[in-house]
Structures are given as structure tokens and as C-alpha cells.
């Protein structure tokens, strides 16, 4: 019996980035859902359970840090990978202290590496 595809929530306000991730993850056999801002991501997370969250940091209104804080408050255990263009070491430390498992800088990372990490992580 084929295993159920792992569910991934992409929180990303930039549509082309979200689309690329969605296509790549689907191609690799994952089930991808996109939330275009922090608010709708939190709403989606209240209704559905995911195996992994990919979270951007700079987003209007509810940014990625706020999303991570909310997940912590609500004791949501879904692992989070942060994918951002912020490259401050302090940002990396801050998101990791908020529970993020991994931190990738978008412009520095091939999409294959991102999906490769996810595949390995969800094994």
C-alpha cells in the first residue's frame, strides 16, 4: 500500500517563491499547501495538521517571528524550517531559540538543497 504523502505548509508572501516551492515539493511527492501571510497560516494550522512548515520571515502584518512565537504559545509541535532573505546571524539565533529546526537563506540555496533537507528530515 502506498504511504500517504507528507503534508507541508508553505508560509510565503512572495507568490513566485511560493509557487516554485509548491511545484518542487509536489514533484518530489509531498502534499504542499501555501499560506500567503502569517495570519492565514495560523488559521490554517488551527484546522489542519502538517508534517512540516516552511516559513518566511519578512511578511506584512504577522511576520515569521510572530508566527513562530504563536506556534510556541499554542504548543504546536510541527517542525519549522525558516527560509528567508534575512542573513543576520542574530536572526538565525532568534528563530532557532523560537524552535525552528533549520535556517536557509533563499538566494544562497538551490531549491534541490531545500527539498533534499526536507526529504531527509521527514524520513
Chain residues in the site for another protein (CB under 8 A): 14, 16-17, 19-20, 23-24, 27, 85, 87-90, 105-113
Looking at the Cβ atoms of 74 and 93, the one nearer to another protein is 93
State how far the Cα of 23 lies from the Cα of 63, in Å rounded to an integer: 24
CB of 85 to another protein, least distance (A): 5
State how far the Cα of 45 lies from the Cα of 78, in Å rounded to an integer: 9
Looking at the Cβ atoms of 27 and 49, the one nearer to another protein is 27
CB of 114 to another protein, least distance (A): 9
- 55 burial via Cβ count (<10 Å: 0-12, 13-18, 19+): buried
In the chain, alpha helices (H): 15-27, 38-47, 64-73, 89-97, 111-121
Looking at the Cβ atoms of 49 and 112, the one nearer to another protein is 112
Q: At what angle do helices 111-121 and 15-27 cross, to 10 degrees?
A: 50
Residue 105: in which H helix or E strand, if any? strand 102-105
CB of 42 to another protein, least distance (A): 23
CB of 66 to another protein, least distance (A): 19
Looking at the Cβ atoms of 26 and 48, the one nearer to another protein is 26
Amino acid at each position: 500500500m502506498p504511504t500517504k504523502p507528507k503534508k507541508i505548509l508553505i508560509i510565503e508572501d512572495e507568490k513566485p517563491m511560493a509557487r516554485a516551492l509548491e511545484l518542487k515539493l509536489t514533484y518530489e511527492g509531498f502534499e504542499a499547501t501555501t499560506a500567503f501571510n502569517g495570519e492565514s497560516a495560523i488559521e490554517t494550522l488551527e484546522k489542519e495538521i502538517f508534517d512540516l512548515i516552511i516559513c518566511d520571515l519578512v511578511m506584512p502584518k504577522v511576520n515569521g517571528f510572530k508566527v513562530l512565537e504563536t506556534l510556541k504559545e499554542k504548543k504546536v509541535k510541527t517542525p519549522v524550517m525558516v527560509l528567508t532573505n534575512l542573513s543576520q546571524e542574530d536572526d538565525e539565533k532568534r528563530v532557532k531559540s523560537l524552535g525552528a529546526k533549520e535556517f536557509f537563506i533563499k538566494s544562497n540555496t538551490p531549491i534541490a538543497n531545500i527539498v533534499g533537507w526536507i526529504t531527509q528530515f521527514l524520513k
